Each structure stands twice: as structure tokens, then as C-alpha cells.
Amino acid sequence: MRFYTKQHKFYCGIDLHARKMYLCILDNTGEVRLHRNINTDREGFLKAIRPFREDIVVAVECMFTWYWIADLCVQEKIPFVLGHALYMKAIHGGKAKNDKIDSRKIAVLLKGGMMPQAYAYPARMRATRDLLRRRNHLMRKRAELYAHIQNTRSQYNLSDPLGRIAKPENREGVAERFEDPSVRNMIAADFAVIAAYDPILAKMERDIIQSAKHHDPVSHALLNTIPGVGRILSLVILYEIENIKRFPTVQDFASYCRLVKCAKESNGKKYGSGGKKIGNAHLKWAFSEAAVLFLKGNEPGKKYLNRIANKHGKGKALSILAHKMGRAVYFMLKNKKPFDQDTFLGL
């Protein structure tokens, strides 16, 4: 957990919403200088903080509307802090809770050096990252349709498998294999939605790959040297990391990727682990997928996994491999070196 500890003359805490934003500005003695609910717009915000622009820092809790105010603060050269929502327990633990109280608590946390920081992703690559996340969301929706078609075949116990229906040429005549007209309509509807998804996803992928060539082509090329990491996994890892230098140590990176468990201890006793929702779920998925794909057609990799599985079991062995791949990616991007499988496997 990182806290914002720099000192300023004024501290602005904002409880930010789509239409309204509650501002609380404290001076360096803790006195409230402004406490007001205003409309969520750039001009109103800049007008409200104008008397304090000499030396002010602005903080908001990480929620879906923070992009515009972060970009505005960068443009106006105002220090900006994005609060980590899961760590900001002081906001959620009070007896009473409303926008006025929350804005003051944010300002107090900021002034006291106890504001837990989330990463304010820079605007340069942020839109492409969001496009990639949307592409993955739609891809999962399409996969659900494929799964539904195959499950329907099992429900009606059709004798022959449907084949590789992911290929358009194999979809013809599949719906007609079901006797009930309603079932045929249902399968036809699934295929119609899949057919609508295909060109949309293809265009999104082309746009994302084109953007990656301008954003960080070196890191993208390095990630593609890992066996099993194709164009989508490399893009997910690239855009979710953004800049490897923001992680001081490999342990920080592994924790951010949810590749390690966080121990809970008190008075020398262990109470399991926690913090499962803290970190980047997209990187967790990417490295879990990469660990499985790394083994495909890779005999040295399979031997390595079997050696770990004999000691820990197959499930934990895959987790260990995913963790090892995360550490390898950290040093690859930090040192600008391609993947070396012999070094990775200790051969």
C-alpha cells in the first residue's frame, strides 16, 4: 500500500459523482476553507479552487468518473491523487455517511498522509486499454454463445458432435439437426449474434494492434517472444502494466498481478490470506492463460510442470508457473531482454 505524504498549503477532497461533486478544502492547519456541493464540470471546479491554486493537491476516490478530473489536473499542473477504494476504510466505517462527510474524510486522509493511492493510468494509453477490455468482454459473451449451443446439443443427446462451430463454414445445418422448431430458432439466434460479433471483434483487434505499434512497440515485441503468449495476451499484459517502472520491485509487481497470496497474521498466529480482490484481475487472467498455453507443444515446459506437480499437485503447480512467468515478464520489460526458456526453466 502506498500513501501520499507530500505537504501542501491546501488539500482538496472530492466525493465525485456523475452530476454532482462535493468539495472540501482544508488548509495546512486542518481548518475547513471550502465545503460545497457543485455541478460536475470543469469550469465550476476550477472556479471553486481558484483562491487556493497557489499550492493545492486534489484527491478523489477511484470510481468510474475519475478520468476527466485527472486529465484536467494534469493539464492545469495540479497535483492529483487517486484514492484506492478498497483501502479507504475510513470512508465506509463511520456511523453516518453522506457526500459532505465523505469529502471531508478524503481531505483529512490526504492532509494526514494516510491517503492510500491507486494508479492514475495516464491518458496516452488509457483509451486503448479500455478498448481492449471491452474487446475481451465481448469475446467472452461470444464464447458463452458457443458454450450454450454445445450444451443444448448435450441436453437433447444428439448422437454426433457439432464439430468446430467456431469456424463459419461448420455452422451450416447445425440448427436443423434439432427436431423442435423452438430449439432450432434458439440455435439460429445464437449463430446470428455470433455472426454479428465476428466483424466487430476483428476491427477492434486491428485498431488495438495498430495503436500498440505507436505506444510501446519494443515491449510488445518482447512479450511476443514468450512461448504461448500470442497477440491478445501480449496486448493485455502490455496495456495493463503501462510502465514497468511504476513497480519498484518484482514482489510489488507479482502482488499487483494477484499472483501471490497475502498472509493475515496477528500476534504470531496466521489467519489465512486476504486481499483477493486487490490487484489487477486482467493481469491475473492473462498470466493464468499464459501458463497453460506455455505448455502446449513444449516438452521441456511439461517436464518442469510435472516436477512441480509431483510436490504440490497440478493446480498449485500451474499457479507457481504463472507466478514464475509474471516475474520473468517483470525482468524482461525492465532489462529490455527477450524471453530465454533455458534460463526460465533453469536448464
Residue 221 domain-assigned (yes or no): no
For residue 178, the number of C-alpha atoms closer than 13 Å in the C-beta half-sphere is: 22
Q: Check whether residue 69 and residue 155 sit in a common domain.
A: no
**Residue that is last in its domain, among 116, 147, 182:** 116
Angle between helices 123-155 and 67-75 in degrees, nearest 10: 160
- 100 lies in the same domain as 174: no
Q: Which three cell numbers stand for residue 25?
A: 478544502
Final residue before a domain boundary, out of 116, 149, 179: 116
Residues 103 and 134 in one domain: no
Domain presence at residue 72:
yes
Same domain (yes/no): 112, 9: yes
Residue 139 lies in a domain: yes
Task: Specify the pLDDT at position 64.
Answer: 87
Asked if residue 321 and residue 260 are part of one domain, the reply reads: yes
Q: Is residue 225 part of a domain?
A: no
Question: How far is residue 209's CA from residue 196's CA, in Å, rounded to a whole number?
Answer: 21
Give the distance between the most distant pair of CA atoms in the chain: 78
Provide the domain count of the chain.
Answer: 3
What is the residue whose three cell numbers read 450444451?
151
* pLDDT of amino acid 90: 67
Domain holding 180, by residue range, is 124-215
Residues 90 and 163 in one domain: no
What is the model's pLDDT at position 324? 96
**Within a domain: 223:** no
Find the CATH number of the domain harbouring 16: 3.30.420.40
What is the model's pTM?
0.89
20 C-beta neighbours (distance < 10 Å), count: 12
In angstroms, rounded to a whole number, what is the distance separating the alpha carbons of residues 55 and 78? 8
Based on the fold, state whether residues 246 and 316 are members of the same structural domain. Answer: yes
User: Which residues, other chains included, contact 50 with Cβ-Cβ below 8 Å and sequence gap of 6+?
Assistant: none
Residue 107 lies in a domain: yes
Query: Is there a single domain that holds both residue 199 and residue 280?
Result: no
- Residue 291: per-residue pLDDT: 96
**98 with 57, same domain?**
yes
Rounded to whole angstroms, how far apart are CA atoms 132 and 125? 11
Segment holding 80, helix H or strand E: strand 80-83
Sign, Cα dihedral of 96, 109, 87, 21:
positive
Grid coordinates of 50: 481558484
Q: Is residue 206 part of a domain?
A: yes
How far, in Å, are 1, 266, 277 from residue 274 at the CA level?
A: 14, 13, 8
Q: Which residues have C-beta within 8 Å of that of residue 181, sequence separation ≥ 6?
A: none
List, run by run, the mean pLDDT of 10-residue segments along the chain (347 residues).
92 96 96 96 96 96 93 96 86 81 94 93 95 97 95 90 88 91 95 95 94 92 94 95 95 94 76 77 96 94 94 93 96 96 88
Asked whether residue 102 falls in the same domain as residue 48, the answer is yes
Amino acid at 326: G
Q: Which residue intervals of the chain are DSSP H helices?
A: 42-49, 67-75, 89-92, 99-111, 123-155, 181-215, 217-223, 231-241, 250-256, 281-294, 299-312, 314-335, 341-345
Among 187, 215, 243, which residue terminates a domain? 215
pLDDT at 104: 95
Q: Is 43 in contact with 120 (CB distance < 8 Å)?
A: no
CA 117 to chain centroid, in Å, comes to 16
Phi, psi of 32 (to 5 degrees): -75, 120
Q: Are residues 164 and 100 in the same domain?
A: no
174: left (phi over 0), alpha (psi -120 to 50) or beta: alpha
Q: Are 21 and 88 within one domain?
A: yes
Instruction: For residue 320, give Cα distances in angstroms to 132, 292, 316, 346.
Output: 27, 12, 6, 15
Report CA-CA distances (Å) from 51 to 25, 46, 78, 109, 191.
11, 10, 13, 22, 60
Answer yes or no: is 255 within a domain: yes
